[in-house]
Structure 1
Amino acid sequence: MKNIIKYVFFIGVAITTVSCDDYLDVKPVGIVIPETLKDFRAVLTKAYAVYPEHKSLASTRGDELLMDEFSNDLVYYKDIHIWKDANPDRITYAFQYGELYNIIFYTNVIINEASNKLDPSAEKDQLVGEAYALRALAYFDLINLFGKPFNPATAVTDRGVPLALEIDLEQAYIPETVAVIYNQILSDNQEAQKLINVDVQTTGINYRFSKAALYAFESRVFLYQKDWAKAIEAANKAMTFKNALTNLNTTAVLPNSYNGVESILALEDVFENFLKGASYASPVLIGAYDKTNDLRFPLFYQASGSKFTFKKGGDTSQKCTFRASELYLTKAEASAQLNDLPTARTTVLTFIKNRYNATAFNQLSTSIANMSQTQLLDFIGQERQREFAVEGQRWFDLRRTSQKEIIHTLNGQTYTLIQNDPRYTLPFPENARLNNPDL
């Protein structure tokens, strides 16, 4: 009975708090448990709306940011920036572990309840398919924050995160292995592929999953699993729906905008405004660019004395989870890993032609033609660093690749994250451990 009461209350809140737009204005009289397609769509819209901004916090840990020591907001990020995870100041922002499981709760309502209550229709299939996809995305973020990076040799024993597929608020969940969580992610994505029937979402509701977004997501998952051939296959499928790149030679606009030609899934606020105001671009990040010939540099950064502030981020118009650039760079990286250097070169050249002026592109074309496999992989990695600056991908990329040493300096003190440091994996939050001794 206790579970039922909690469930009724939670879903009642979900329905009655999403009416921020006319098409979300769901106010069923006397109903607290969703019954109709409109009710269930409201629940899923709520899940989309509250998807957490954890990627801003992840960027704080990597090599992209130089914190502003005079910012009033520094106190919220300081201990994250210096990797003080064991005993952080209580004012420090916490990674949104519980919030991600809250997303999973919403999606479980759709998957377990809407499937049985709603009559067959294309709209029902789309709704349930989106729920599977969103649940998979939440687990992907959880495992890449709180689980070890995927290692094919050890994934079956490496500790991951708890798996919750049913609506049971009383159950104490025990962490599953990294392999189990990745298998669930792929299983959910495959279920979503059977149901989702919208190829590309229209601008304005492109926070919702589509076929293009599913395949883009799948290509990212396979890339992290080092399953190179499948990463290429999924990227190619996504490109059949969405492959346009913003040509910065002709259109000087941010390529990560939700209404840009590259947008595939515009769900996440990946660099929130308070952090943007409390940080500068790090010397490591600025040093990665050809400031004269890389057309992204003046679009992404603004000089501020001897430092550079970010133009990217801090704006809901830049919500971005997947975009076309990632497909090209995933295909290029996976092709290079398979030693298919002609495909890797062609793919990366197609991408950079839209990012550098003609002089630099011609020079790079010659250089790329002569690169070894190792050199080409290094260049593609640098392009990911440049392209996806403060989009929440850098920390995950560092985890899955070199796990390099990072040095941060703050208030005259130096802090070091050594190579392969265990702190590349976050501990479960204290409140989660208190509530669940099995963590």
Structure 2
Amino acid sequence: MELKNMKKIIAISALSIFLVGLVSCEKETDLYQSIKTEDAYKTVLDVDNGINGAYYALGSYRLLGMNVPALGDMATDVSKADASSGHFVTINKYTANQYSGELNEIWLYGYKVIDRCVRATNGAELLLETTTNEDDMATLYKSLSQAYSLRALTNFYLVNIFGLPYQPGVQNTQKGIILLENAPIEPFATVSRSSVEATYAQILSQIQKAKDYYTLYDNAGGKSLSAFYMGEGAIYALEARVKLYMHDWNGALIAAQTAIDIKGPKAVSNDIYQTMWRSIAITDEDIFTIAKSDNDNLSANSLNTLYGSYKGQISAFTKSLLDATDIRKALIATFTSANQPAKFQGTSTSQATSNIPIFRVSEMYLIIAEGTAQLNVDLDAAKDALLFTAQRNTAITTTADLPATQADLLTFIAKENVREFFAEGHRWFDLRRTGNTFLFGGKVFDVAKFVFPIPDAEVASGAGVEQNDNWFVAIPK
């Protein structure tokens, strides 16, 4: 499908989005016409279809289905792109610019998600004014909870790719993203970028609304949602990650523990951990994952292919962090001359098919470990949480095997995030939020000072979106 700038995309109606599953295939029907919410969302089913449309855009390879997690590692020292394939090479080599396809797709599909959620929200709220059927009300509460959580999640990724990082304790006046409030942006409307401060404020507000509507849904007898949806546990997992990025350590701890309590703190065995990547079934690790299936026919448009026939590799740096006694080392398999992540080698019936984990239980334990270590009041509690993942190195059996000081513990946690989440796209975001650096071309690169450019199609549309000033200056020369 030809890319169109966001001003055209935002006029999409969700009326004709009838999907099988959440992300069933990469063929999509968009109606580029402006249909009023009161005309588009006449039934509960219409709202549900709108939410499915938002999930579809979120799970597209153009957003969380490939581009975002690929960027999260390819833009760091975790992964290496292969020059001969041409895929993600410009991200990996920092030669990407405002015309780069991957960045355009992330921006475009991010706003598809947001637009569809805004429209579904407005439609659901209108229906709630007249609906008396209890089952319909419960379904609408569920849709509203998901709409707000999907908006918050998407805003969070967009602001961390196209805006400079949140800095605690100061006014974050740096440019954020375009925020949609209670209505879609109409075609040809003039818009402007909000600040990072305002963006995070809206994200937190949306998370709270998602929790509030989920409570209404739960009180109405609603069933728990599977990990293929932004259910209650996923909402708290998102809150934990957001508050970690804001250095709100206490808030992150509470939200992460709540997400664990909702999911259930059962750890997967080492055997299951090593094999779960070859299945698309939900495991005890999954809090929210992008669902894929053999019918998606992703072929070239998958992380599996990027790290497979397109020869993307896990770096020597990443491998150096994994001891021979670490079970995660087996998730880097050597085929020919490439070091490929076995996390994305597909199922027994489809090499291009793997679920994309967004929130896992392991992340929540690492958030608790990091937040507790940062507070520096109970390092034993930090080590207790850290042991959940650290013991995947079988040489580590008790907290006595973990670092004893705050500084050493935080260093270990930063490396543990690489060991646990390589190929899942965490590294770039972690480096920016912590201010840690990595070597790029033999030089120290502080990616907290770097921000990707806004796509030129958006800036050139004349709608008022400003480019990131001198975005390329922070790249080591």
**TM bin (shorter chain):** 0.7 to 0.9
Aligned to 1:411: none
Counterparts of 1:10-409 in structure 2, within 5 Å, are 10-11=12-13, 14-21=14-21, 33-51=40-58, 52-53=63-64, 54-71=68-85, 74=86, 76-86=87-97, 94-118=104-128, 119=131, 121-165=137-181, 166-170=183-187, 171-196=189-214, 197=218, 200-202=224-226, 206-242=227-263, 243-248=265-270, 252-254=274-276, 259-267=282-290, 272-277=303-308, 278=310, 279-290=312-323, 292-298=324-330, 300-305=331-336, 307-313=338-344, 315=346, 316-339=353-376, 340-353=378-391, 355-357=392-394, 360-362=395-397, 365-368=399-402, 370-407=403-440
Answer yes or no: is the 8 Å Cα contact 1:244–1:324 preserved in 2: no
Distance (Å, rounded) in 2 between the aligned partners of 1:285 and 1:329: 18
Q: Secondary structure at the match of 2:287?
A: strand
- Cα distance change of structure 1 residues 245 and 164 upon mapping to structure 2, 3 Å threshold: same
Answer yes or no: is the 8 Å Cα contact 1:158–1:178 preserved in 2: yes
Unaligned residue ranges in structure 2 (runs of 5+): 1-7, 30-37, 293-300, 347-352, 467-477
- Using the size of structure 1 for normalisation, the TM-score is 0.84
Answer yes or no: is the 8 Å Cα contact 1:228–1:335 preserved in 2: yes
Q: How many residues align?
A: 406
- Out of 425, 442, 454, the position equivalent to 1:428 is 454
Aligned to 2:472: none
Q: Displacement, 1:92? A: 6.5
- Cα distance change of structure 1 residues 281 and 188 upon mapping to structure 2, 3 Å threshold: same
Answer yes or no: is the 8 Å Cα contact 1:164–1:173 preserved in 2: no
Distance (Å, rounded) in 2 between the aligned partners of 1:430 and 1:417: 28
Distance (Å, rounded) in 1 between the aligned partners of 2:98 and 2:49: 39
2:242 maps to a residue whose letter is: V
Answer yes or no: is the 8 Å Cα contact 2:9–2:112 preserved in 1: no
Answer yes or no: is the 8 Å Cα contact 2:10–2:185 preserved in 1: no
- Cα distance change of structure 1 residues 244 and 181 upon mapping to structure 2, 3 Å threshold: same
Unaligned residue ranges in structure 1 (runs of 5+): 1-5, 408-413
Answer yes or no: is the 8 Å Cα contact 2:304–2:354 preserved in 1: no
Q: Which aligned segments of 4 or more residues in structure 1 are displaced greater than 4 angstroms?
A: 6-9, 90-93, 255-258, 268-271, 414-417
Q: Displacement, 1:345? A: 1.0
What are the Cα deviations for residues 224-245 of structure 1, in whole angstroms up to 9, with x where unaligned? 0000001001111111111222
Distance (Å, rounded) in 2 between the aligned partners of 1:312 and 1:128: 33
What are the Cα deviations for residues 334-380 of structure 1, in whole angstroms up to 9, with x where unaligned? 00000120110111123333x132xx023x64331x52100001111
- Cα distance change of structure 1 residues 154 and 46 upon mapping to structure 2, 3 Å threshold: same
Q: Displacement, 1:34? A: 2.2
Q: For structure 1, which segment, 414-423 or 224-233, has the greater mean C-alpha deviation from structure 2 after superposition?
A: 414-423
Q: Secondary structure at the match of 2:177?
A: strand
1:173 maps to a residue whose letter is: V
What are the Cα deviations for residues 303-323 of structure 1, in whole angstroms up to 9, with x where unaligned? 235641121126443221111
- Using the size of structure 2 for normalisation, the TM-score is 0.78
- Cα distance change of structure 1 residues 257 and 373 upon mapping to structure 2, 3 Å threshold: farther
- Cα distance change of structure 1 residues 328 and 336 upon mapping to structure 2, 3 Å threshold: same
Distance (Å, rounded) in 1 between the aligned partners of 2:356 and 2:448: 31
1:428 maps to a residue whose letter is: I
CA RMSD, 1 decimal = 2.9
Distance (Å, rounded) in 2 between the aligned partners of 1:87 and 1:147: 14
Aligned to 2:350: none
Distance (Å, rounded) in 1 between the aligned partners of 2:382 and 2:455: 40
Identity value in percent: 27
